Amino acid sequence: MSVPSSAVVPVAAPAVRIRRFGGPEVIELVDVPVRQPGPGQVLVEVRAVGVNPADAKVRQGKRHDGPLAEPIGLGSDAAGVVVALGEGVEAGVGSGGIENAEGLSVGDAVIGRGLSGAYATYITAPAAQFTRAPEGLSFQQGAAIGIPVGTAYQVLASLGLDAGQTLLVHAGAGAVGQAAIQLARARGARVIATASPANHARIRELGGEPVAYGDGLLARLRELAPDGVDRVLDAAGTREALEASLALVSDPAHIGEIVNVEWAAAYGVSAYSGSRPGFLNAEQKALRAEAVPYAARLVVTGQLQLEIADVLPLAEAAEAHRRIDGGHVRGKLVLRP
Ligand SMILES: NC(=O)c1ccc[n+]([C@@H]2O[C@H](COP(=O)([O-])OP(=O)(O)OC[C@H]3O[C@@H](n4cnc5c(N)ncnc54)[C@H](OP(=O)(O)O)[C@@H]3O)[C@@H](O)[C@H]2O)c1
């Protein structure tokens, strides 16, 4: 990442806001005040923002009861440069490399996760939500880690995927799916992943065995795994994926469901959600956080690929949401403030 030697922080800067829930057209770019960091916070100049399907669900009102009382921002994953420190965030402490937030300095390149309103030019948030980025990581890569890689890492760990086991990943070509295939291969597992035929070569490149979803899915999966599979990560959330998974595992709890979490009660699957309360325990939350520095290190050492689908200006956030709503983005869409 390239870091500026000095930064002049404006009093206001462009950020995305929505005043009501709805389609991508509710997304507006407006000037908002740049908040100075309070105790324990840092002010970060955002260089890249990761667009996640969860952002579209927030935009649609699926993560909120009732109408909006006031405008809100969107986005939780970003990478940027620290431009100001709040009280208690000690400058210069820490030894560089990858570590958690305490001891960030002005000029540090950082990866943020769990942010509120990351579709912005500047963001003020607790220092603990940022990890110093390793040398060699691009801002785009940094913005592509938080939700998708954190989720894949946590789900595989929570399901206890071991070397020699077979993992089935539904929606293997998406950001979560691509991370899950690579992390599972690194654990020594065999991976079967569903994707549309156009993405099968990509699944193979990552070390997975591709299978087309759609009619006949279970029969195709049985051909590859006649004795069933050991674990499933369902990032598709379709009935078809659920039914095939239930038919292939010995215990429904071996299915990690991240889309339709209400299926946990109905079918006994293991459901995990970072955006809905009650679906991650403290250990699972910690796994999502520890995934960020871990994944950043894997990226710079060439052991984890983060495919960037496209980079759009922040002003085109609505276009990014149109693409995400289409459901077939391959890799990570990134916004550039
Ligand atoms: N619970 C959580 O904490 C959590 C965290 C992260 C993500 N999620 C959810 O997990 C889902 C995936 O997230 P993502 O970031 O990976 O999304 P993404 O990058 O937008 O990828 C979506 C992928 O879904 C595939 N797909 C579309 N229809 C499919 C079908 N019927 N069967 C199988 N695959 C299909 C597409 O591949 P093809 O083009 O090959 O069809 C596309 O690559 C989203 O619903 C997201 O909200 C939940």
Q: Whose CA is nearest to atom 33 of ligand 1?
A: 171
Once rounded to an integer, what is the mean pLDDT over residues 232-260? 98
101 and 170 housed in the same domain:
no
Q: Whose CA is nearest to atom 2 of ligand 1?
A: 273
Once rounded to an integer, what is the mean pLDDT over residues 112-122? 97
Q: Measure 235 CA to ligand 1 centroid, in angstroms.
A: 5
Residue 8 confidence (pLDDT): 86
46 and 64 housed in the same domain:
yes
* Lowest model confidence (mean pLDDT) among 1-5, 87-91, 136-140, 223-227: 1-5
Q: Whose CA is nearest to atom 30 of ligand 1?
A: 236
Residue 66 confidence (pLDDT): 85
Please report, for the domain that includes residue 70, its CATH number.
3.90.180.10
Residue 91 confidence (pLDDT): 58
Instruction: Give the C-alpha distances (Å, rounded to integers) separating 318 from 24, 48, 119, 186, 325.
Output: 5, 16, 11, 36, 10
pLDDT score of 244 more than 90: yes
Residue 89 confidence (pLDDT): 87
pLDDT, one tens digit per residue, over 122-137 is 999 999 999 999 999 9
Does 318 fall in a domain?
Answer: yes
Query: What is the rounded distance in angstroms from the CA atom of residue 267 to the CA atom of residue 270?
Result: 9
30 and 102 housed in the same domain:
yes
242 and 122 housed in the same domain:
no
| Confidence band for 103, pLDDT divided at 50, 70 and 90 | confident
Q: Closest by alpha carbon to 268, among 291, 283, 249, 287?
A: 249
Does 263 fall in a domain?
Answer: yes
For 328, residues 6+ apart whose C-beta sits below 8 A from its C-beta are 196
| Confidence band for 102, pLDDT divided at 50, 70 and 90 | low
Once rounded to an integer, what is the mean pLDDT over residues 93-108? 59
**Average pLDDT for the chain:** 94
**How many domains is the chain partitioned into structurally?**
2
Does 291 fall in a domain?
Answer: no
| Confidence band for 152, pLDDT divided at 50, 70 and 90 | very high
Does 232 fall in a domain?
Answer: yes
Does 5 fall in a domain?
Answer: no
Beta pairing partners, 28: 17
pLDDT score of 232 more than 50: yes
pLDDT score of 3 more than 80: no
pLDDT, one tens digit per residue, over 177-228 is 999 999 999 999 999 999 999 999 999 999 999 999 999 999 999 999 999 9
| Confidence band for 98, pLDDT divided at 50, 70 and 90 | very low
Which residues does a 6 A CB cutoff place in the pocket of ligand 1?
A: 52-54, 147-148, 151, 170-171, 173-177, 194-196, 199, 213, 235-238, 258-259, 272-274, 324, 327-330
What residues make up the domain containing 24? 12-144+306-336
122 and 194 housed in the same domain:
no
CA atoms in the 13 A half-sphere facing the CB of 221: 30
Does 296 fall in a domain?
Answer: no
pLDDT score of 49 more than 80: yes
52 and 157 housed in the same domain:
no
Q: Whose CA is nearest to atom 12 of ligand 1?
A: 235
Residue 129 confidence (pLDDT): 94
Q: Measure 101 CA to ligand 1 centroid, in angstroms.
A: 30
Note the Cα 170 to chain centre separation in Å: 16
62 and 163 housed in the same domain:
no
- Kindly report the pTM of this predicted structure: 0.95
201 and 213 housed in the same domain:
yes
Q: Measure 110 CA to ligand 1 centroid, in angstroms.
A: 26
154 and 137 housed in the same domain:
no
20 and 125 housed in the same domain:
yes
Does 295 fall in a domain?
Answer: no
- The H or E element containing residue 141 is helix 139-143
* Lowest model confidence (mean pLDDT) among 3-7, 85-89, 222-226: 3-7
Instruction: Give the C-alpha distances (Å, rounded to integers) separating 118 from 8, 27, 48, 49, 67.
Output: 20, 14, 9, 7, 21
Residue 88 confidence (pLDDT): 87
- Please report the atom of ligand 1 found closest to the CA of residue 271: 1
92 and 198 housed in the same domain:
no
Q: Whose CA is nearest to atom 23 of ligand 1?
A: 174
Residue 267 confidence (pLDDT): 98
Residue 6 confidence (pLDDT): 52
Q: Whose CA is nearest to atom 5 of ligand 1?
A: 151
Instruction: Give the C-alpha distances (Å, rounded to integers) separating 196 from 213, 255, 258, 332.
Output: 7, 21, 20, 17
122 and 27 housed in the same domain:
yes
Please report, for the domain that includes residue 201, its CATH number.
3.40.50.720
Does 299 fall in a domain?
Answer: no
Query: What is the rounded distance in angstroms from the CA atom of residue 231 to the CA atom of residue 243?
Result: 14
